[in-house]
Structure 1
Amino acid sequence: MPKKWECVMIRPAAYCALLLSSSLLWSASASAVECRHALSIYDEAPRYAADFSHFDYVNPEAPKGGRLRQTPPGGSFDSLNPFIIQGTPAAGLGLIYDSLAESSADEPFTEYGLLAECMRVDPDGGWIEFQLRPEARFHDGQPVTSADVAFTFETLKTQGRPFYRAYYADILRIETPDPLRVRFYLGNPENRELPLIIGQVPILPAHFWAERDFTRPGLERPLGSGPYRIAEVDAGRRIVYQRVDNYWGADLPINRGRHNIDQMIYDYFRDSSVALEAFKAGRLDVRLEHIARHWATGYSGPALNSGEILLESIPHQNSSGMQGFFYNTRRPVLADARVRQALTLMFDFEWTNQQLFHGAYTRTTSYFSNSELASADLPSGLELEILNRFADQLPASLFTTPYRLPVTDGSGQLRREMREALNLLREAGWTLDGRRLVNAQGQQLRVELLMHDSAFERVVLPWRQNLERLGIRLDVRLVDTTQFLNRVRQFDYDMIISTLPQSLSPGNEQRDYFHSAFAQAADGRNLSGIQDPVVDALVEQLIAAPDRTTLVATARALDRVLLHGHYVLPHWHLPEHRVARHRRVQIPEVHPPFGLAMDSWWIAEE
């Protein structure tokens, strides 16, 4: 929109009159809509009223100070820009940025204003407007303005990871009528999640990036407006964040009792066992344990016996998402769903859980396990109605046979599974030639699992032995994190181990996970290369779900179609967080159900 001085100096009078009239109408339309302190996806009443003082799961009197040392997943980093495809970004970079709004950890999907004082939403779903706080500042003292917000979205969509183009595809345009107001016009009024995910984006300073190349990775410390700034960088080994003493938002109700620790330190270790020993030796303060063997037997010793180390299992109500071996259907050998299903049949979860995991895990049987979004048994009700629209494009078995993973007695004997797998492989054109399973050209069925963490080798080796009994060769290739990421971005893998996290309100991110448009997008999350028009349609219907009932039914339908496509060999999950901490690390008594809320912890100095 032209500025007022343009009317005074260079614009025709008629144009200025029209401009001023439009501006007044714009302001009138916005002022007629309530500016809310919180947003929820289906207009549910927020848990916290406009005059709330702090979240229930924090300690508002928590002391400030101390340091928290932890180790992130991945063995290294070479970039401080997490928004682009190049480079391996350091852990914790979200600490230096603020977003327009922020979710609470005790509600499924409700956001409260952070940089934004309040939000206005068009009753017809055509736009959302954020009213910025005049006190919001970047770390160099410059105010956060609507121009910074517009710059952030335009930059991420045009120069950021492919994920952003998928996530913000329904944003038509952005208007900034004044420095403290920014309005997003939305192309799909049915996309109820979009206003909330707009609020989640870390806001970047336009003046900082004006003379810098956003697309290049590097170790120059970026500028943010959040509760921490980067204090120290040792490339690939260590990054330290220092709490900002004069952080502009420290006294907001949304922040009270949070961001208590002065220094957040991430020390990198290439091996998880070495990191465990560093923790027991006092070089790390906290571990989120993901290895059952470590949790069961790895923490014994004087520090545990003396009470210096505390072990705590904290339950949660989050969807587990999908962790597993992801098959790359772009590879000819894995393009046939029968081959993928046969490989899955030969993984003995019950034996693995008993022998390697001390019986700790539950098998993942859905992309939304541990939630009401997971499909089960046969489709019925609204889910069946949704699937019937695509009946001529789906296998008949989807409607008559529930998706079932093999369940064994844990003895390691897979005779039944071997017979079923061989039948599938014969149907797909593979035959036994002595002890080798070969195709018509005499080539052995051979696949490679690409990994960057040696901790999974003990899980993979028994599976490899089972496949060898079928005449299939499984190679395991262990590479460093940088090489792993580069190969994944080039789709240069047969299988990888990965995770697709899921919220209780899935939406726009499903495009990046499963939509055909992102099957060839470098650094996208469509790891299996899924290209299915039914999946595409269900993803769009999920995003446009008008209410919770429709969302749940559509998620179940999408889940069922994906499972019957055999794109992943599902792993396992826990409905809890396993936290190992030194006793000086303090946690509030109230645990939120939808997040670990580590930003509410504090250090008790001795």
Structure 2
Amino acid sequence: MNSPYVKLLGTASFLAALGAGAAMAEPQHGIAMYGEPALPEGFEALPYANPDAPEGGRMATAEVGGFDSLNPYILKGSVPWQLSFLIGESLMGRSLDEPFTLYGLLAESVETAPDRSWVEFTLHPEAAFSDGSPVTVEDVIWSFETLGTEGHPRYQGFWSKVEKIEETGERKVRLTFNTADRELALLAGMRPILKKAQWEGQEFGESGLDTIPITSAPYVIDDYEAGRFVSLKRNEDYWGEDIPFRRGTANLDEIRLEFFGDETAAFEAFKTGETNFTREFNVARWDSQYDFPRVRSGEVVLEELPHARPSGMTGFVMNSRNPLFEDWRVRQALIEAFNFEFINEAMTGSAQPRITSYFSNSPLGMDEGPAEGRVKEFLERWEGDLPPGALEGYALPVSDGTERNRKNIASALTLLSSAGWVVQDGVLTNEETGEPFRFEILLEQGSSENAAIIDMYVQSLERIGITPEISTVDSAQYKERTDAYDFDMTYFRRGLSLSPGNEQYLYWGAEAADTPGGRNLMGVKNPAVDGLIDLLLTSESQEDFLAAAKGLDRVLTAGRHVIPIYQWNISRIAYDADLKHPEVIPIFGDWPGWQPDVWWHEAGGADPQAEAGAEDKATEAAE
């Protein structure tokens, strides 16, 4: 099997993939953030798709939690996370085999100014919604305007940078930007396009289960039961099945999302065959519990897939809107008290390495030690706004692996003392006010792994005089509270790509910190962060792009807003042997756009190779 690492073997080849920015003088079949698209006009299919894949079959996954909305484009309600990828379709589609390249989808071509101050799309003449009506320029303009003003807050930042949107010819629409930002032309290509006529006389932002958006995608929602399941069926009359980007995709007749109350019930559903695909994030469970009968018989295939994506950040975020967490010394103390080495041994048998920074596991990750060269030059522009360690170098504390974690607990107490907190009668207390140090950890119901980690963390916190309140709420309450930033500490996950851009404003930009339903859960407001994101978006050289990314990584990591846990540089998946995927794995690995997109169903049960691999895995687990 081709590993993504063959295609992205470090900084040198990563730079080659980025290429040098090239001006576009005429309509083209694709567009890249830097350089030219790797695939030529008229390519047969994406390199990780099988254009000869058969159609038919189903994929059913087990999800933990519930949902009360089927409109992924608005703030209101809790939506299955997959829907925006499964029912949405945009002007262009993203290749998972290039850092940031788009190819024609609803648009048959794209043209942009040399400085990317505008972008123009020409709609494919056959583009149609699932009800058979054509996708028009009017629909495109309405979608941009509506999503930018009434849609989810994640769309509003882009819309604020649009000077105007206009019809410029038959099937042509142009967006002109008011901001120097090279990524905007690509982001425009990724906005979902909806049917204007469906929403006449309706409140777009208030829809939920009552109105399912009509889109042009290969799948449509066929059936559902609130909080229980969603069934999506392949549209047999899908308009674009023969365009290059779609060949070999959307092969399954049905994609079904089954919802369960907790991880245990979801896993049991897979073991018994009620569902036929699962991802495993706990390596200890992967090594010890995947030797059940269906694995031993070869009915279930176990597979580990590498990827070349950044680690992103996974852990527990501290809400700096709470005055308790304003001081970096307090945040560092809480990181010191988190006994990662002990927790990792208990949860994974120390099999998964810790996340060391936001872009670790990639060429964009910060280097060890003091900042140098261009990275240092960029950081010094905001020297007065940098957290300690951003310039000098910052690394997470390492414990001795014992439960008591004496050295790091002592460091935590020293930091807290310097910030005005002392232990009195076993309780951490503010020296000036006499108030105890109290905060709440908010968890979503059904996440037994997070609950187990927090249980161990609470025992460590008690050693420094802190006894936090643990609140576990259902998915609807959890979303409502996190949308309103009504939490002190909670679970946090931000996946990052090899082409960081405007989404960084949503994750940690100052403007997003006060936007209800935003992604900046930590509440960080730092001119250095915003400035480095600006540099990412305006860099015209590979050197500046990499330096801006590495500098941003330093500022975020040294900001100490998240207590990182372990990273998943390998995806662990298990699935019925009747489900197949191409041997070529994109550099993004198991990522939206790959599963279920390029998978297919092929009846006939287990094959000898899969069965042998499963038996080997089961034997290892037994030993």
TM-score computed with the length of structure 2 as normaliser: 0.89
Partner of 1:205 in structure 2? 195
SS, match of residue 563 in structure 1? helix
Deviations 1:575-594 (A, max 9, x none): 12111111111121111121
Number of aligned residues:
571
> In the superposition, relative to structure 1, how do residues 168 and 369 fare at CA in structure 2: closer, same or farther (>3 Å)?
farther
1:114 aligns with 2:105: yes
Match of 1:583 among 540, 553, 577: 577
For residues 168 and 317 of structure 1, the distance between their equivalents in structure 2, rounded to whole angstroms, comes to 31
Residue 481 of structure 1 is matched in structure 2 by: 475
Quote the residue 2:514 is aligned against.
520
Displacement of 1:376 in angstroms is 2.2
Q: Hey, what does 1:62 align to over in structure 2? A: 53
| Correspondence for 2:237 | 246
The one-letter code matched in structure 2 to 1:431 is V
Residue equivalent to 1:602 = 600
Q: Which residue of 2 aligns with 1:320?
A: 311
Q: Cα distance, 1:346 vs. partner?
A: 0.9
1:168-226 CA distance string (max 9 Å, x none): 3321110113350000001123x111111111111111111122210113212321111
Deviations 1:426-463 (A, max 9, x none): 11111110211111322221221101023311111111
Aligned residue in 2 for 1:370: 361
Q: Quote the offset at 1:502 in angstroms.
A: 1.0
One-letter code aligned to 1:38: G
Match of 2:427 among 417, 429, 436: 436
Amino acid in structure 2 at the alignment position of 1:602? W
Shift of 1:250: 0.5
Choose 222-231 or 386-395, whichever is displaced more: 386-395
Residue pairs, 1:372-411, within 5 angstroms: 372-377=363-368, 378-394=370-386, 397-400=389-392, 402-411=393-402
> Structure 2 stretches of 5 or more lacking a match?
1-23, 605-623
Does the 8 A contact of 1:146 with 1:178 survive in 2?
Answer: no
SS of 2:345's equivalent in the other structure is: helix
Q: Is the 8 A contact 2:506 2:518 kept in 1?
A: yes
Contact 2:387 2:555 (8 Å CA) reproduced: no
Measured in 1, the distance between the counterparts of 2:297 and 2:55 equals 26
1:497 is aligned to 491
Q: Equivalent residue for 1:260?
A: 251
Match of 1:33 in 2: 25
Corresponding residue for 1:547? 541
Distance 2:50 2:28 in 1: 26
Structure 2 counterpart SS, 1:362:
coil
State the distance in 2 between where 1:199 and 1:418 align. Answer: 50
Q: Which segment drifts farther, 522-531 or 558-567?
A: 558-567
Q: Which whole-Å CA distance do the structure 1 matches of 2:155 and 2:305 have between them? A: 32
SS at match of 1:130: strand
Question: 2:215 — aligned with what?
Answer: 224
8 Å CA contact 1:444, 1:473 repeated in 2: no
> Considering only CA atoms, is the larger Rg found in Structure 1 or Structure 2?
1
3-state SS, counterpart of residue 410 of structure 1 = coil
Q: Is the Cα contact below 8 Å between 1:432 and 1:471 reproduced in 2?
A: yes
What is the aligned partner in structure 2 of residue 466 from structure 1? 460
Structure-2 separation of matches of 1:393 and 1:281: 55
Tell me, yes or no, if the aligned pair for 1:324 and 1:498 is still in contact at 8 Å.
yes
SS in 2 for 1:325: strand
Please point out which of 76, 84, 90 is paired with 1:86: 76
SS at match of 1:399: coil
Give the root-mean-square deviation of aligned CA atoms: 1.5
The CA distance in 2 between the partners of 1:294 and 1:269, in whole Å, is: 19
**Aligned to 2:487, what secondary structure does the other structure show?**
coil
> Which among 377, 402, 414 is matched to residue 423 of structure 1?
414
Match of 1:24 in 2: none
| Structure 1 counterpart of 2:348, from 352, 357, 367 | 357
Q: TM-score w.r.t. structure 1 length?
A: 0.92
Q: Is it true that 1:196 corresponds to 2:171 in the alignment?
A: no
Amino acid at match of 1:282: G
Identify which of 309, 324, 333 aligns with 2:300.
309
**Percent of residue pairs bearing the same amino acid type:** 40
What secondary structure is seen at the aligned counterpart in 1 of 2:506?
Answer: helix
In the alignment, the residues of structure 2 paired with residue 78 and residue 398 of structure 1 have an alpha-carbon distance, to the nearest angstrom, of 42
Superposed CA offset, 1:86-111 (max 9, x none): 10113432322321001111111111
Q: Which residue of 1 aligns with 2:449?
A: 455
Matches within 5 A, 1:132-151: 132-151=123-142
Given that 2:119 and 2:175 are in contact with CA atoms closer than 8 Å, whether structure 1 keeps it comes out as: yes
